Amino acid sequence: MNANVETQKLTVAEFHHMEFDDADTHLYELLDGDLVRKKAPSPQHQLVLGELAFSLHTYVKQQQLGEILFAPVDVFLDEYTAPQLDLVFVPQSNASIITRDGVMGIPALVVEVISPSSVYRDRVTKKELYARFGVQEYWLVDSADGFIEIVTLQEGRYQLLSAASTEEGQLTSGVLPGLTLDLNALFV
């Protein structure tokens, strides 16, 4: 038996031509050519995401910084990678990457709300992926523990910029300077 079996990577174009059963309630994303099936997010996940999206959208619009988009939205990082991010910030200076079909390029900031089934994918797989593509800032939101961790890209690797919980701490964003979030209101 040959141990050098090659698996073919799926392209974004092929992914978009795939047909899924209407009864299928899963979400799909393409990570480095691999099709990844995700369960629909929990109500808690969606409540936290909604509060965060509202807060960030309000701040970004008031400051005229750019656009906030939230899931589901396709973000095309290359011909083999189209993750479904929970939340994306695209600065005004790069607004042209937002098209009718999705975000065609690298956003400045991405947010993932961690679910029990996505811990490894969000903390390891996607973190490495976003660093490799040059996403400037990555937020990991742990809705179960009321905790947000913000990492920033430095020399091709993410370094912790700030972390806060409903118990203590204050968030600092390099991409959205001056932003303040009430984590107690966020994690309702």
Q: How confident is the model over 46-90, as pLDDT tens digits?
A: 899 999 999 999 999 999 999 999 988 889 999 999 998 899 999
Backbone angles phi, psi at 178, to 5 degrees: 85, -5
Q: What is the pLDDT of residue 1?
A: 47
Tens of pLDDT, residue by residue over 109-153, are 999 999 888 888 899 999 999 999 999 999 999 988 899 999 999
* Contacting residues for 73 by C-beta, under 8 A, at least 6 apart: 84, 85, 88, 102, 103
Q: Would 8 be classed as within a structural domain?
A: no
The verdict on residue 162 lying in a domain is: yes
Domain contains 69: yes
The separation between CA 158 and the C-alpha centre of its own chain, rounded to angstroms, equals: 15
Q: Is residue 13 part of a domain?
A: no
> Is residue 36 included in any domain, yes or no?
no
Q: What share of the chain is helix, strand, coil (3-state, %, to 5)?
A: 30, 30, 40
- Does residue 28 lie within any of the structural domains? no
Would you say residue 161 lies in a domain?
Answer: yes
Domain containing residue 144: 41-186
Q: Please tell me the predicted confidence (pLDDT) of residue 164.
A: 93
Q: Is the pLDDT of residue 2 over 70?
A: no
CATH number (domain holding residue 98): 3.90.1570.10
The pLDDT assigned to 131 comes to 97
